[in-house]
Amino acid sequence: MAPEALLGYAIAHEIGHLILGPEHTAYGLMRQRWTSDEENRIRGGSLRFDGKQAAALRSGLAERVASASGATHVASNSTAPVNEASHDGVGAP
């Protein structure tokens, strides 16, 4: 596995904690300890936040941007891919 890919996913996981809180999930990007399944998804570029996490990330980021800029509303339109058919939703690096 490319070290830079692993680092990118680890950073995405930690950014997830900044927005989503300290909880971990039973699978996927926010799993506490990645298994061979997550490692294979990293190699394939398909380890992702699930749909609920993706929505919470968008909302949390929009709130932070609005707060930092003094705006009262920030649109959270995203072009990030969402795969509703799997356990995963929004891409990591």
Token code pair at residue 82: 């969402």
* Averaged pLDDT score across all residues of the chain: 82
Tell me if the pTM is above 0.75: no
- DSSP string over 38-68: HHHHHHHT--EE-HHHHHHHHHHHHHHHHHH
Residue 83 above 50 pLDDT? Answer: no
Tokens 């927005």 map to which residue?
A: 19
Q: Which amino acid is at 83?
A: N
Domain spans of the chain, in order of start: 3-88
Task: Give per-residue pLDDT as tens, 45-71.
Answer: 999 999 999 999 999 999 989 988 876
Q: Give the whole-angstrom CA distance, residue 72 versus residue 80.
A: 24
